Amino acid sequence: MASNVASTPAGEGAAVGIPAASPAPSGPSALRRVLGYLSLAVKLALFALVFALAVRNSEPVTLRFFLGREVETSLALALVAALCAGALSGVLAMAGYAFSLRRDAQRARTEAKALQAERDGLRAEYETLRAELAVRPLPTPPAGDGLPGQDANDRQVPHGL
């Protein structure tokens, strides 16, 4: 009778036909999945609250505009229309600021590229000068302290040295 336990390279027994259990998911992918489920739950709860508010406020209202114009609609639809109008006006109000930020960012990118080109040019010039200095011999120091009228033998040494 054959044994139903196969030997693994590590010498441990494993049942034949039963797949090895994969390790439990951990790390960023598991956290991302949990946060995705949590986000979905919050969105569903918010939708349910808004839907319940719309159902409870479905009675008709009359909206009176200027020049004698009137529209009769449900209160929920009027609230959604006001919300959309407010969001649209907010987007339009921020559009100018967003475009100016985009223009400033493009200007900063252009300036950064110019500064990088200048830096690269200065580095090349530095390397050229460094290579020239490496080839030149070092100057010999002058005899003495370099003071006029004083030789190396005329130096005075302090006592005790």
Q: What is the pLDDT of residue 153?
A: 59
Q: What is the pLDDT of residue 16?
A: 57
Burial class of residue 17 (count of CB atoms within 10 Å of its CB; 0-12, 13-18, 19+): exposed
pTM of the predicted model as reported, rounded to 2 decimal places: 0.43
Give residue-wise pLDDT tens across range 42-98.
999 999 998 888 888 788 889 888 888 898 988 888 888 898 999 999 999 999 999
Give residue-wise pLDDT tens across range 120-147.
999 999 999 999 888 888 777 766 555 5
Better-predicted residue by pLDDT, 2 or 46: 46
